Amino acid sequence: MGDNGAGKSTLVRVIAGADPADKGVIEWKGEPVRVHRPQDARALGIATVYQDLALCENLDVVGNLYLGREVHRAGVLDEVEMERRASELLGSLAIRIPDLRAPVATLSSGQRQSVAVSRALLGAPEAVVLDEPTAALGIEQATHILDLIEQMRERGLAVLIVSHNLGDIKAVADQVAVLRLGRNNGFFDVNTTPQEQIIASITGATDNTGRKPVRPWP
Amino acid sequence: MAVNDREPPPGGATRYLRECLRLLRWGAGTLVTAWRVGRTGSLPVVLGLVVIWIVFESIDTDFLSARNLSNLSVDLVGMGLITVGVIFVLLVGDIDLSVGSVSGLAGAIFAQLNVNAGVPEWLACLIAVLGGAAAGAVHGFFVARLGVPAFVVTLAGLLAWNGLMLFILDTHGSINLDDQGLVATLTNHYFGNALIPLGLAALGLAAYLAVALLGRRRRTVAGLPGPTLGAVAVRAGLLGAVLFGAAGVFIGFRGLPLSVLILLVTLAVLDFVLRRTTYGRKIFALGGGIEAARRAGIAVEAVRMSVFTVSGAMAAVGGLFLASRITSVGQTSGQGDLVIDVIAAAVIGGVSLFGGRGTTWAALLGVLVIQSIASGMALLGVQVAVQFMITGSVLLAAVVLDSLSRRAQRSHGRA
């Protein structure tokens, strides 16, 4: 969590390989790894849902789901297989999109968000990073996305959500890390920490930067 | 059939009229919806073309004669090939203004090598096309690697390649090509045998049916909704009408022109590349959003460079066809309104200037519109000045349609 400009989205892009870090170390399962390109993160099993969704508006739902990892034989696309798998995946996530061949530009923002989330799940990742997944949505659609996040957790995926909505975090998260001005301003256990303490950390009323974190990451 | 029950059942003629009106309203409604979601495809340009043909035919009955249509078809091949290349660039959301100059340059390279240096024709052709591809790759490098706007890079190319062409032509004002040679054959060869166009039309129709029906069966087996048999039949019927109609036109004059066959095969192959291969999917992805494509792991720079290379190569190929048509290369080759006509043709054919929307067949349809206007005006003896104004208006109309459709799609999407 963190206020505007805290560096949340930048951190997401660094993890995803979209904006490689100038310095520092990324550790994955205890090993230092190099993430310079989006493919690197994907190869490690890290999938990302960006705040702007990063969908191609002109392509249809199937095209977007498989963008960059099309099912093909000698460069020739296998549209039928892609559509079959896409329809299976969306079905298993209880996402209803009437026409998988409609350009994404014609979908509602909730449907787009669902497409972006399912795209992240398509490559069977081990960890999913979501940047402000509910910020642009209405209440009902946001609930659906939160349900999806719960489903991911139940499937045993690690989920990292960036949000500034404390309600969402309370609903689905176990741990919260607060960023402030690009630095870590504390780790909290969502279920035991009072809301006020987290808010104080976000706004800077309690400044933990430059000191040891309140408690090490479990 | 919903007959209004407050009125007595109308008689034959009224009822027929009412049914027609209902159908029309339904058709218009479907069209508007299709337009809102940006899925009208080639319908507006086909309608426009029909209108243009009807107007010219009603003024001068020579317009739709086999002779005129056949000549028109051969005339449009060079421009059509250049347009396909430009479509690749437009699809990623860039623009290529240099294609006219590159086509002239290719003609000059070929003429100097073949006529003045005695290089065999096939080798001279190859070098000319590679030269065009190289010119395109240079544009691509500046646009993709250095991030210079394509508009400026290719504008510079327009001037520079024209300069290079004049330099290559040197003191020769124009060079006449061998009128029995390979390049001349490209546009002056006709397959006189009537069975060839008919056979090829049947082959094309059979190929379409096979692909459509096999695809439909695969979808059914996979449990996916497919097109209804009726829809396949209607499309096959339309395609058959067009193919056999064209075959009839060509048989009525001198037979199937080799150049038209080359254009159609090129369009079909590149259509396959764009719609059915991973490379084509990458091009569309770039047109839909460069940043989204980059984050999906697409090598954006390489794809962007490649489309400019394709555009340069196709411009060179088109340039050879243009040279072939007049069997000479001169200082004005590839100059004048060629660039504007080519880009206009792409947009009129339904390629979006905003990138990400269009097919290779737009090249054929758009060039047909522009050449039909030119040919009709020439037939009527109207000044070039008027022709420019009309082509300009058609281009403006096409761009307005493109912009409005995009806006409608946007607001529809956010609803």
CA distance to A158, B10, B177, B234, per residue, from A175 (Å): 12, 74, 78, 59
**Amino acid in the structure at residue B152:** V
Does B383 touch chain A if contact means CB atoms closer than 8 Å? Answer: no
Look at residue A150 and tell me whether its pLDDT is greater than 80. Answer: yes
Shortest distance between the Cα of A39 and any Cα of chain B, in A, equals 5
Q: Give the one of A68, A75, A87 whose C-beta lies nearest to B296's C-beta.
A: A68
Check whether A210 has a pLDDT greater than 70.
Answer: no
DSSP state of B256: E
Any bridge partners for residue A77, and if so which?
A: A72
H or E element at residue A32: strand A31-33
Q: Do B278 and A16 touch (CB under 8 A)?
A: no
When the pLDDT of each residue in chain A is averaged and rounded to a whole number, the result is 85
Mean pLDDT confidence for B334-343 = 89
Is residue B2's pLDDT more than 50? no
Query: Mutation test of the interface with chain B: which of A58, A72, A115, choosing the one with the most B Cβ atoms within 10 A?
Result: A58
Predicted confidence (pLDDT) per residue in B216-237, tens digit: 999 888 888 888 888 899 999 9
Chain B positions in Cβ-Cβ contact with residue A107 (cut-off 8 Å): 413
- A-chain residues within 8 Å CB-CB of B285? 56, 59, 63, 67-68
Instruction: Give the side-chain half-sphere CA count within 13 A for B192.
Output: 0
Cross-chain residue pair A80–B296, CB shorter than 8 Å? no
* Interface contact flag, B288 A70, Cβ < 8 Å: no
E strand or H helix at B352, and its extent?
none
Helix, strand, coil percent content, chain A, rounded in steps of 5 = 40, 20, 45
* pLDDT above 70 (res B12): no
Closest CA of chain A from B338, distance in Å: 29
Beta bridge partners of B328: B176
pLDDT beyond 70 at B364: yes
User: Coil, helix or strand for A189?
Assistant: strand
Q: Quick one: how far is CA B118 from the chain centroid?
A: 34
pLDDT in tens, A183-200: 888 888 888 888 888 888
Q: At residue B221, what is the residue type? A: V
- Tell me the three state secondary structure of residue B262: helix
Domains of chain B are 42-192+254-407 (1.10.3470)
Distance (Å) from the C-alpha of residue A87 to the closest C-alpha of chain B? 9
Tokens at residue B38, please?
A: 């940006």
Return the exposure string of A153-176: e unless at least 16 CB atoms fall within 10 Å of the residue's CB, then b: eeeebebbbbbeebebbebbbeeb
Two tokens, residue A99 = 């026409």
Residues of B in contact with A68 (CB under 8 A): 285, 293, 296-298
Percent of chain B residues topping a pLDDT of 70: 92
List residues bridging with A184 in a β-sheet.
A179
Give CATH for domain A8-173.
3.40.50.300
Q: Where are the domains of chain A?
A: 8-173
pLDDT, mean of residues A70-74:
89
Given a contact cutoff of 8 angstroms between Cβ atoms, the answer to whether A129 and A48 are in contact is: yes
pLDDT at B145 over 80: yes
Chain A residue numbers touching B213 (CB-CB < 8 A): none
pLDDT at A212 over 60: no
CA distance B166 to B172: 9
The values of phi and psi at residue B27, to 5°, are: -60, -45
pLDDT band at B1; cut points 50, 70, 90 = very low
Q: How far apart are the first and last CA of chain A?
A: 17
* Interchain CB distance below 8 Å, A67 and B281: yes
Q: Which residues of A touch B357 (CB under 8 A)?
A: 58
- Mean of all residue pLDDT scores within chain B: 88
Residue pair A105/A58 in contact (Cβ under 8 Å)? The answer is yes
What does the block give as tokens for B378? 């020439």
On chain B, the residues whose CB falls within 8 A of the CB of A109 are 414
**Four-point Cα dihedral B381, B383, B387, B389, nearest 10:** -150
Interchain proximity B281–A54, CB inside 8 Å: no
With CB atoms and an 8 Å threshold, state whether A16 touches B295.
yes
User: Please, which residues have CB within 8 angstroms of residue B185's CB and are 6 or more apart in sequence?
Assistant: B258, B324
Of B276, B288, B413, the CB nearest to A106: B413
When computed from its CA atoms, the radius of gyration of chain A, rounded to whole angstroms, is 18
CB contacts < 8 A, A to B, total 108
- Grouping H, G, I as helix, E, B as strand and the rest as coil, residue B339 is helix
Look at residue A218 in the predicted model and tell me its pLDDT.
Answer: 53
Minimal-distance CA residue of chain A relative to B279: A75
Q: Inter-chain contact B284–A63, Cβ cutoff 8 Å?
A: yes
Identify the residue whose tokens are 């989330």.
A117
> Are the beta carbons of B284 and A58 closer than 8 angstroms?
yes
Which residues of A fall within a CB distance of 8 Å from B298? Answer: 67-68
Residues of chain A with Cβ-Cβ distance to B295 below 8 Å are 16, 18, 38, 48, 50, 54
B276 contacts A76? CB cut-off 8 A: yes
- Best probe of the A interface among B213, B281, B283, B357, by most A CBs < 10 A, is B281
Question: A123 by DSSP, 3-state: which?
Answer: coil
From A30's Cα to the closest Cα of chain B, the distance in A is: 25
Interchain CB contact of B211 with A (< 8 Å): no
User: By C-alpha distance, which of B23, B71, B83, B20 is closest to B315?
Assistant: B83
Contact (CB<8Å) A67/B279? no
Say yes or no for a CB contact (<8 Å) between B295 and A18. Answer: yes
Q: How far apart are CA A65 and CA A54, in angstroms?
A: 11
pLDDT in tens, A18-41: 888 888 888 888 888 888 888 888
Using the Cβ of B223 and the Cβ atoms of chain A, whether some distance falls under 8 Å is answered with yes
Confidence of residue A215 (pLDDT cuts 50, 70, 90): low
- Taking the CA of residue A75 and the nearest CA in chain B, the distance in Å comes to 5
- Please list every residue in chain A whose beta carbon sits closer than 8 Å to the beta carbon of residue B284: 56, 58-59, 63
Q: What is the pLDDT of residue B32?
A: 66
Tell me the mean pLDDT in the region B294-320.
95
Tell me if B277 and A76 make a contact (CB, 8 A cut-off).
yes
Cα A112 from Cα A118, distance rounded (Å): 10
Q: Give the percent of chain B with pLDDT over 90.
A: 60
Which pLDDT score is estimated for B409?
67
Which among B37, B281, B355 is the nearest to A63, CB-wise? Answer: B281
**What pLDDT score does B37 carry?**
53
Whether B216 contacts chain A with CB within 8 A: no
- DSSP for B6-75 reads TSPPP-HHHHHHHHHHHHHHHHHHHHHHHHHTT--TTHHHHHHHHHHHHHHHHH-TTTTSHHHHHHHHHH
